[in-house]
Amino acid sequence: MFQIWIYGLTLFVLASTTTSNSSDDIEIRLLDNQNAPLVATLDMSKANKRVKQFVSDTIEAKIKNIEETVKSKQFVSDALKAIMRDQEVNLKSQIADFERNLTDQLTDYIDGKVGKKDEENEKTEESKQRPLDCGDVKTKNGNGIYKIYPKHSDFGFDVYCDFEIDNTGWTVFQRRLNGKTDFYKGWKSYENGFGDLKAEFWLGNQKIHTITKQGNYKLKVDISDFDSNKAYARYVTFSVGDASTNYRLTVAGYSGNAGDSLSYHNGQAFTTKDRDNDQKTSVNCGIDREGAWWYKSCAVSNLNGVYMEGEKVNAKGIQWYYWKNNDYSMKSSSMMLRRL
Contact 149, 159 (CB under 8 A): no
Strand partners, 172: 160, 336
- At residue 102, the 3 state secondary structure works out as helix
CA 181 to chain centre: 42
| Assigned domain for 94 exists | no
The two beta strands, 230-240 and 217-224, are antiparallel
In the predicted structure, residue 109 carries a pLDDT above the cut 50: yes
| Assigned domain for 87 exists | no
The last residue of a domain, from among 47, 79, 111: 79
The mean pLDDT of 251-276, rounded to a whole number, is: 99
Cα distance between residue 97 and residue 89, in whole Å? 12
Domains of the chain: total: 2
Q: Could you tell me the residue range of the domain that residue 213 belongs to? A: 134-339
The mean pLDDT of 291-305, rounded to a whole number, is: 97
| Assigned domain for 114 exists | no
Same domain, 218 and 335: yes
pLDDT category of residue 87 using cuts at 50, 70 and 90? confident
The last residue of a domain, from among 34, 56, 79: 79
DSSP letter at 167 equals: G
The mean pLDDT of 118-129, rounded to a whole number, is: 57
Please state, in angstroms and as integers, the Cα–Cα distance from residue 333 to each residue in 144, 176, 208, 302, following that order. 17, 5, 17, 10
Please state, in angstroms and as integers, the Cα–Cα distance from residue 75 to each residue in 6, 60, 62, 81, 89, following that order. 22, 22, 19, 10, 21
Strands (E), the chain: 25-31, 37-43, 144-148, 157-162, 170-176, 194-195, 201-202, 217-224, 230-240, 249-256, 301-302, 310-311, 319-320, 328-329, 332-339
Q: What is the CATH classification number for the domain harbouring 231? A: 3.90.215.10
This prediction has a pTM of: 0.65
In the predicted structure, residue 334 carries a pLDDT above the cut 60: yes
| Residues in the chain, total | 340
Q: What is the pLDDT of residues 23-75, one digit of tens each?
A: 455 555 555 555 555 555 555 566 667 767 776 777 777 777 777 776 777 77
DSSP letter at 244 equals: G
Same domain, 197 and 307: yes
| Assigned domain for 256 exists | yes
In the predicted structure, residue 254 carries a pLDDT above the cut 70: yes
Same domain, 216 and 142: yes
The last residue of a domain, from among 79, 106, 122: 79
